[in-house]
């Protein structure tokens, strides 16, 4: 099942503040958000989880 995370859930999962998330998106190092409506966006849970996994792998060398 595909789940979509809203920004508060992404912040909670990553521990990153909103400005950092959007900066990392701009730099191409964090998954891009998907448009859910005219004024709402979300992130695919699987993509956020994969980003977290990659961070863990990098930190463990």
> Domain boundaries in the chain?
4-59
CA angle, 40 then 44 then 46, to 5°:
165
Which structure tokens are listed for 10?
């992404």
Write the CA distances from 14 to 21, 46, 51, integer angstroms: 9, 13, 9
pLDDT digits (tens, 9 = 90+) for 23-51: 999 999 999 999 999 999 999 999 999 99
0.85 cut: is pTM over it?
A: yes
CA 55, CA 61: separation in Å to the nearest integer?
10
Confidence at residue 51, expressed as pLDDT on a 0 to 100 scale: 98
Confidence at residue 54, expressed as pLDDT on a 0 to 100 scale: 96
Chain centroid, CA 17 distance in Å:
11
Confidence at residue 7, expressed as pLDDT on a 0 to 100 scale: 97
Strand-pairing partners, residue 43, are 5
């Amino acid at each position: 099942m595909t789940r979509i995370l809203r920004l508060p859930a992404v912040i909670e999962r990553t521990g990153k503040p909103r400005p950092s998330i959007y900066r990392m998106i701009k730099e191409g190092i964090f998954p891009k958000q998907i448009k859910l409506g005219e004024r709402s966006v979300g992130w695919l849970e699987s993509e956020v989880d994969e980003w977290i996994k990659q961070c863990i792998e990098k930190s463990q060398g």
